[in-house]
Structure 1
Amino acid sequence: MLKNLSVLSLITLIVLTSAAILWRFPDYFEYGNSRVIEPWGDGYQAYHAYLYHIKNDTGYSHYAGMNYPFGDHVIPGNCQPLLSNAVKFLGLEHYALGIMHFSMLVSILLAAVFLWLIFMRLGLPGWVSVAAAIGIAFLSPQIHRMSTHYGLAHPEVVPVVFYLLLRWEEREDWRWALGLGLSIFIFAQIHFYFFAIMAFTITGYMGIRWLWRRDWKRLPRYALHYGLAVLLPFVFFNWWMNAGDPVNDRSGLPWGFFNYRAYPGGLLYSPFEPHWKWLGEHMLKLRHFDFEARNYIGLTAIAGLVLLVVALAKRRFDTVMPAEQPVDRRQWMIYTLVASAAILIFAFGIPFIIPGLEGLLNHTGPIRQFRSIGRFAWVFYYAVNIAAITAIYRVWGKKPLMMALPLAVLLFEAHAFAWDKDLRLDPIEEYEPGKRFTDLKEVNFAAYQSILPIPYFNLGSDQFWWDISGLVAQKSETISIQTGLPLSGSHLTRTSRSQTLKQLQLVTEPYRLPAILSDFPNKKPLLMAWDTIRHADFGQDFRHLLDGALLLYEKKEFRLYELPLESFQERIDRKIASIQRSMSGDALSARDGWLLSDSTARFVYRSFDDKPSDHPYSGAGGFKGVMNELSTLYDGPLPGDSAQAYVFSAWMYIDGDLNTRSDMEIQLYDPTSGEVRQSVRSQVKDKVKVFDANGWALIEWQVQAEQPGSAVRWTFLNKDLGKNELLLDELLIRPAGLDVYKHLEKGVWWNDRNYTVDGRW
Structure 2
Amino acid sequence: MRLPKEQAASFISARGQRNRTQIRFSLLKIFFYFSALIGNLITFFTSGIFGDMLKSRTVYTTVILSVALLYLFFAPILRNPNQIYFAPGGDGLKAYYGALYHLKYDSDAFRMNGMNYPYGENIFFTDNQPMVVNTIKFISNHFFDISGYTVAIINLLMLFSFLLAAVFLCLIFTELGTSWWFATLAAVGITFLSPQIGRLGGHLALSYAVWLPLMIWLLIRFDRNKSFLFSALIGFVTFLAAGMHMYFFALFGFLFLFYWGRVLFTRQIPVKDYRWILHVFIQMILPFLVIQLLVNLTDPVTDRTTHPWGFFTYRANPATVLLPLHKPYANFLSSVKAFQNFDWEAYAFIGMVALIGMIWGLFRMYKRIRNKQKWYMITDRPLINALFWASVASLLVSFSFPFNLGLKFLLDYMGPIQQLRVLSRFAWLFYYMLNIVVFYGLFLIFSKSKWMKILTASAFVFLFFDAWLNVKLYNDRMVNRIPELEDRQNLSPENEWIKKIDVSDFQAILPLPYFHIGSENVWLDPKCDVAKQSYIVSLKTGLPSMAVMLSRTSISQTYKSLELVSNPVAPYRILEEFPSQKPLLLLVDNCSELSDNEKRLISLSEKIWEGPKFNLHRLPLKPLRNLALEGQKQFEQEMEFIHAGQLDSVGCIVYESFDKIIYKEPLYGKGAVWSAARFWRSLFDNNLTGVKAGDKCELLFWVHNFEKDLMGRTVFEFTQKNGDQVVNYQLGQFQHFFCSFSGDWMRIRIPFEVRSENEKISLSIRNKELKRYPVVVDELIVRRKSGF
Aligned to 2:596: 540
User: In structure 1, what is the equivalent of residue 221 of structure 2?
Assistant: 167
More displaced, 312-321 or 458-467?
Answer: 312-321
Following superposition, the deviation at residue 148 of structure 1 comes to 1.4
Q: Does residue 396 of structure 1 match 2:454?
A: no
| Equivalent position to 2:431, from 364, 371, 381 | 381
Q: Is the 8 A contact 1:151 1:190 kept in 2?
A: yes
Determine helix, strand or coil for the equivalent of 2:350. coil
Partner Cα separation in structure 2 for residue 597 and residue 279 of structure 1: 60
Per-residue CA deviations over 1:363-392 (Å, capped at 9, x if unaligned) read 211101000010011000000000010112
Matching of residues 108-127 of structure 1 within 5 Å:
108-127=162-181
**1:33 partnered with 2:82:** yes
Matches within 5 A, 1:566-581: 566-573=622-629, 575=631
Identity of aligned residues (%): 31
Q: 1:221 to 1:583 in 2, by over 3 A?
A: closer
Deviation of 1:5 (Å): 7.2
Alpha carbons 2:377, 2:385 under 8 Å: kept = no
Which residue is 1:246 aligned to?
300
TM-score (norm 2): 0.86
Which residue of structure 1 lines up, in the alignment, with residue 608 of structure 2? 552
Tell me, yes or no, if the aligned pair for 2:113 and 2:544 is still in contact at 8 Å: yes
Say yes or no: does 1:656 pair with 2:656.
Answer: no
**Contact kept? 1:32, 1:425, Cα under 8 Å:** no
Assess, with a 3 A threshold, how the Cα gap between structure 1 residues 283 and 656 changes in structure 2: closer, same or farther: closer
Bigger drift between 406-415 and 217-226 goes to 217-226
- How much has 1:574 moved relative to structure 2? 5.2
Work out whether 1:187 is the aligned partner of 2:187.
no
| Match among 197, 203, 207 for residue 149 of structure 1 | 203
Deviation at 1:182, TM superposition (A): 0.9
- Residue matched to 1:434: 489
Task: Tell me the amino acid that sits aligned with residue 472 of structure 1.
Answer: V
CA distance, structure 2, for counterparts of residue 224 and residue 581 of structure 1:
68
Q: Is the 8 A contact 1:272 1:420 kept in 2?
A: no
- Aligned amino acid, residue 667 of structure 1: T
- In the alignment, what sits opposite 2:540? 482
In structure 2, the partner of 1:419 is: 472
The answer on whether the counterparts of 1:509 and 1:544 sit within 8 Å (CA) in structure 2 is no
Deviation at 1:281, TM superposition (A): 6.0
SS of the equivalent of 1:300 reads helix
> CA contact under 8 A between 2:320 and 2:349: conserved in structure 1?
yes
Distance in 1 (alpha carbons) for counterparts of 2:337 and 2:521: 40
Return the alpha-carbon distance in structure 2 between the equivalents of residues 119 and 215 of structure 1. 26
Which residue of structure 1 lines up, in the alignment, with residue 398 of structure 2? 347
Q: Given the alignment of the two structures, is residue 101 of structure 1 paired with residue 155 of structure 2, yes or no?
A: yes
2:316 to 254, 258, 262: 262
* Equivalent of residue 526 in structure 2, options 458, 465, 468: 468
1:62 aligns with 2:117: no
C-alpha distance in 1 between matches for 2:202 and 2:170: 28
CA distance in 2, matches of 1:281, 1:194: 32
Task: Within 5 Å, give how 1:205-244 maps onto structure 2.
Answer: 205-211=259-265, 217-218=271-272, 220-244=274-298
Aligned partner (choices 243, 251, 256) of residue 197 of structure 1: 251
**Structure 1 residue 172: Cα displacement:** 2.4
Assess if the C-alpha contact under 8 Å between 2:238 and 2:287 holds in 1.
yes
What letter matches 1:346 in structure 2? V
Alpha carbons 1:108, 1:155 under 8 Å: kept: yes
Counterpart of 2:194 (choices 137, 140, 153) is 140
CA separation in 2, counterparts of 1:508 and 1:389?
A: 58
| Structure 1 Cα separation of the partners of residues 753 and 195 of structure 2 | 45
Does structure 2 retain, via aligned residues, the 8 Å contact 1:272–1:417?
A: no
* 1:306-338 residue CA offsets vs partner (Å, 9 max, x unmatched): 232233322398999899x6xxxx111110111
The answer for the alignment partner of 1:745 in structure 2 is none
Across the aligned residues of Structure 1 and Structure 2, the Cα RMSD in angstroms comes to 2.9
Q: What is the Cα deviation at residue 582 of structure 1? A: 11
What are the superposed Cα offsets for residues 32-68 of structure 1, whole Å, 9 maximum, x if unpaired? 1122121212111011111111111101111111111
CA contact under 8 A between 2:334 and 2:340: conserved in structure 1? Answer: no
8 Å contact kept, 2:98–2:112 = yes
Q: Distance in 2 between matches of 1:583 and 1:331?
A: 74
* Distance 1:392-1:202 versus aligned 2 partners, 3 A rule: same
SS in 2 for 1:353: helix
* Contact 2:512–2:594, Cα closer than 8 Å, also in 1: no
Aligned pair partner of 2:773 in 724, 728, 743: 724
Shift of 1:88: 0.5
The residue type equivalent to 2:359 in the other structure is: V
- Asked whether the 8 Å contact 2:570–2:631 carries over to 1, the reply is no
8 A contact 2:659–2:672 mirrored in 1: yes
Letter in 1 for 2:158: M
> Cα distance 1:580–1:386, how it changes in 2: closer, same or farther (>3 A)?
closer
Give the Cα separation in 1 of the matches to 2:579 and 2:645.
48
Distance 1:174 1:99 in 2: 33
Q: Counterpart of 1:413 in structure 2: which amino acid? A: D
The CA distance in 2 between the partners of 1:670 and 1:720, in whole Å, is 33
Alpha-carbon deviations, 1:419-466, whole Å to 9, x = none? 222244222121224337598210111221111110000000011010
Q: Deviations over 1:705-730 (max 9, x none)?
A: 44443333221111111211211111
In 1, the alpha carbon distance for the partners of 2:169 and 2:433 equals 11
Amino acid in the other structure paired with 1:82: M
1:81 corresponds to which of 130, 137, 144: 130
Larger mean CA deviation between 642-651 and 367-376 belongs to 642-651
* Structure 1 residues 579 and 499, CA gap change in structure 2 (3 angstroms): closer
Structure-1 separation of matches of 2:53 and 2:677: 69
Residue 435 of structure 1 aligns to which amino acid in structure 2? N
Contact 1:532 1:557 in 2 (8 A): yes
2:711 and 2:630 map into 1 onto residues whose CA distance is: 32
Q: Give the 3 Å change call, closer, same or farther, for CA 580–132 of structure 1 in structure 2.
A: closer
Equivalent AA in structure 2 for residue 243 of structure 1:
L
Query: Which of these residues, 526, 550, 569, is aligned with residue 492 of structure 1?
Result: 550
Report if the CA contact (8 A) 1:531-1:559 is conserved: yes
Residue 657 (structure 2) aligned to one of 607, 625, 642: 607
The answer (yes or no) to whether the contact 2:251–2:394 under 8 Å persists in 1 is no
Instruction: Give the Cα–Cα distance (whole angstroms) in 1 for the partners of residues 686 and 337 of structure 2.
Output: 51
Match for residue 737 of structure 2 among 670, 676, 687: 687
Secondary structure of 1:551's match?
A: strand
- 1:406 alignment partner in structure 2: 459
Cα deviation, residue 496, structure 1: 0.5
TM-score, normalization by structure 1: 0.89
